[in-house]
Structure 1
Amino acid sequence: MSSDAEIRKLARVLGVAPERFSYLRDVPAADLRLLRDQVTSVLFDAHRGALERMAGASRLLPTPLLARMAESVFGPVLSARIAGLVEVSRGVDIAKRLSPGFLADVAAELDPRRAAGIIAGFPPPLVVAVARELARREDWITIARFVDTLPETAIVASLGAIPEHALPRVAELLDDPARVHYLTDLKATHDSRGRNSS
């Protein structure tokens, strides 16, 4: 992982242009990743009590209403903060009712580690729809963050939605270098199955 890639990811977490952190280019990538993890924790743990109360109150409302409220009232940032605090089966049910575009917005704001159970419960067509939307936006940072945490079945389901030319860009943004080979091996297996079935 290069320092430039880490700077881009840190800038994404903070919602600013990467150029603002050009002075960090000489900082080792591992230190920048630690900083990014700390910043993510601060952002997601701020107002945790209020978010937990909101997640608790959401149990009283039907999921179709919550899905409409997520898109029209809460927005992607608040939805991303609450996602990790909602019961998994309920979170999956809400997510299934959201548009792929809104889920892509939430994905860009989400720390996937905090909502891993919900993400793992997404049906493959939903994973593919969100991956396709992220690829359309060329949001390789978000795709890489999910490759780092998604179960293999979800990654395999979404591989067809990620253009071949984008895989190196996704690979350079992965937190775990071992996942680079894992991703390329999965892609090769996916492509080979596609050829064999045709």
Structure 2
Amino acid sequence: MDSDAEILKLARVLGVSPERLGYLRDVPAADLRLLRDRVTSTLFDAHLGVLERMAGASKLLPSPLLAKMAERVFGPLLSARIAGLVDVARGVDIAKRLSPGFLADVAAELDPRRAAGIIAGIPAPVVVAVARELARRRDWITIARFVDTLPESTIVSSLEVIPDKALPQVARMLDDPARVHYVTDLLPQHRLDAIADDLTT
């Protein structure tokens, strides 16, 4: 595990620049990951009662209206907090109606573990559109966070819109280093060769 990568991910969760956390560079990566997990849980559990009531009230509104409200009223942060509290089928139906740009914003704020069912149920074309937008933003942290929750076929499709030169950066941001082999096994040989060439030049 890479302490610098963990600092980047912790900085994302806290909404601060990685430079502000430079003093943590000597802390073992495993300890930094544990800290990040605890900070994430604390942030997502804050105001849980209010969020649960909002998720319950959302059952009374049609999905098209909720999708519009998410983009125009709730915003990505609140939408990410509520996502893990709504029914999976309903969450998928709402997600399909959101723009790729807004879904990319939500993805950056989301804890995938809390909305794994929704993430796994989103149609591959929607996920690919979001992956393309995240790649445009060079948001390798968010892309890496969804490897554990997306179906394999969707990952394969999403990899097609991520540049070869970016894949080592995505691999570096994976929480489980063993997943690097899982991802590389999904790549065709010509892309592996291109990545190897980039790393040796």
Q: Same fold (TM over 0.5)?
A: yes
Instruction: Provide the C-alpha distance between the structure 2 equivalents of 1:81 and 1:17, rounded to a whole number of angstroms.
Output: 22
Counterpart of 1:170?
170
User: What count of residue pairs does the alignment treat as equivalent?
Assistant: 192
Instruction: Provide the C-alpha distance between the structure 1 equivalents of 2:166 and 2:157, rounded to a whole number of angstroms.
Output: 16
Counterpart of 1:42?
42
Instruction: Provide the C-alpha distance between the structure 2 equivalents of 1:149 and 1:180, rounded to a whole number of angstroms.
Output: 15
Name the SS of the counterpart of 1:161 in structure 2.
coil
Instruction: Provide the C-alpha distance between the structure 1 equivalents of 2:37 and 2:93, rounded to a whole number of angstroms.
Output: 29
Counterpart of 1:55?
55
Question: Are residues 37 and 190 of structure 1, via their aligned partners in 2, closer, same or farther at CA, if it must alter by over 3 Å?
Answer: farther
Does the 8 Å CA contact 2:128/2:157 hold for their aligned counterparts?
A: yes
TM-score, normalised relative to structure 1:
0.94
Deviation at 1:25, TM superposition (A): 0.2
Deviation at 1:152, TM superposition (A): 1.2
Pairs within 5 Å for 1:8-47: 8-47=8-47
Instruction: Provide the C-alpha distance between the structure 2 equivalents of 1:126 and 1:140, rounded to a whole number of angstroms.
Output: 18
Does the 8 Å CA contact 1:104/1:130 hold for their aligned counterparts?
A: yes
RMSD: 1.4
Pairs within 5 Å for 1:106-125: 106-125=106-125
**What per-residue deviation string (whole Å, max 9, x for no partner) do you get for residues 63-102 of structure 1?**
0000000000000000000000000000000001000000
Runs of 5+ consecutive residues of structure 1 not aligned to the other structure: 193-198
Deviation at 1:157, TM superposition (A): 1.8
Does the 8 Å CA contact 2:55/2:85 hold for their aligned counterparts?
A: yes
Instruction: Provide the C-alpha distance between the structure 1 equivalents of 2:119 and 2:52, rounded to a whole number of angstroms.
Output: 19
Counterpart of 2:100?
100
Determine what percentage of the aligned residue pairs are the same residue. 81
Q: Which deviates more, 23-32 or 155-164?
A: 155-164
Name the SS of the counterpart of 1:187 in structure 2.
coil
TM-score, normalised relative to structure 2:
0.93
